[in-house]
Amino acid sequence: MLRIAEPNTKSLSRYLEETSEHVAILLGVEREALEQLVGNPDREVGPKLEALLHRRAEAQEVRRAERAAQIAGSAAEHLARTAVWREGRAHLDPSILFGAILADVGHKFIAFHGGRAFEVRMLRHTLWSAGDALSRHDDLVVWVDAEGLHFRWKNGRGGLNFLSQHVSARDIAYGLHVYLTPPVQRPSVHRAQRPPRRPVSLGDEVVNMTLFA
């Protein structure tokens, strides 16, 4: 739209006069704000329209970032809910790990918290690259534990292991955290056996008074 502007002309003004309602919707502004520009030369209208275009682009980027953060956050919660624990390992759904959880480019890393057992950090671009290479395996198995993030396919004949990665101090605030709650280990309760009571003499007979719980 700004390309039709020429020095000392009012082509932009005439354009707004004819299409102010449509342009107002596109820019996300009130129609009256554009009608105030009608009648002004292009050298004045052009910069103001350009500023409105930049403002619209910035607003769209903010909305996109908010939406991406919401998608990634929901995916992190879904990944945690669907994790299956076996022998200290949290088995993860690859379709979530390589999918929506990586939607927000603002996240520099993904941190997997296994209660007090472990915390494994993976850089987002590492997971993105791994997903690009491994997601084609239909039998892909993924788990995270105290030793890192692990991938197996072809019944274990193929495998890849990642140690927890270093995150720089400047990026530590830009992480997505997945809280994997390990199952509660209930301590087995053993009832202490009571010591047998001493036999009580009842005349010529001896009766053992041991109680069985």
Task: Tell me the per-residue pLDDT of 105-164, one tens digit each, with 9 for 90 and over.
Answer: 999 999 999 998 999 999 999 999 999 999 899 999 999 999 999 999 998 899 999 999
Tell me, yes or no, whether 38 and 98 share the same domain: no
Tell me, yes or no, whether 175 and 97 share the same domain: yes
Q: Is residue 204 part of a domain?
A: no
Alpha helices in 83-123 (DSSP H): 94-97
Question: What is the predicted pLDDT for the residue at 174?
Answer: 96
Q: Is residue 107 part of a domain?
A: yes
Q: Is residue 98 part of a domain?
A: yes
Tell me, yes or no, whether 60 and 121 share the same domain: no
Q: Is residue 193 part of a domain?
A: no
CB 128 within 8 A of CB 150: no
Question: What is the predicted pLDDT for the residue at 43?
Answer: 82
| Selected residue with higher pLDDT from 46 and 78 | 78
Question: What is the predicted pLDDT for the residue at 13?
Answer: 73
Q: Confidence class of residue 211 from pLDDT cuts 50, 70 and 90?
A: very low
Q: How many CB atoms within 10 Å of residue 85?
A: 15
Task: Tell me the per-residue pLDDT of 3-55, one tens digit each, with 9 for 90 and over.
Answer: 455 555 667 777 777 787 888 777 877 777 777 778 778 888 778 888 888 88
Query: Global pTM?
Result: 0.68
Q: Which range of residues forms the domain containing residue 121? A: 83-179
Q: Is residue 138 part of a domain?
A: yes
Q: Is residue 205 part of a domain?
A: no
Tell me, yes or no, whether 61 and 87 share the same domain: no
| Selected residue with higher pLDDT from 30 and 94 | 94
Tell me, yes or no, whether 55 and 106 share the same domain: no
Burial 100-110 (b: 16+ CB within 10 A, else e): bbbbbeebbbb
Among 4-8, 163-167, 191-195, the least confident range: 4-8
Question: What is the predicted pLDDT for the residue at 198?
Answer: 55
Tell me, yes or no, whether 95 and 53 share the same domain: no
Tell me, yes or no, whether 18 and 102 share the same domain: no
Domain total of the chain: 2
Q: Is residue 123 part of a domain?
A: yes
User: Could you say which of 34, 65, 96 is where a domain stops?
Assistant: 65
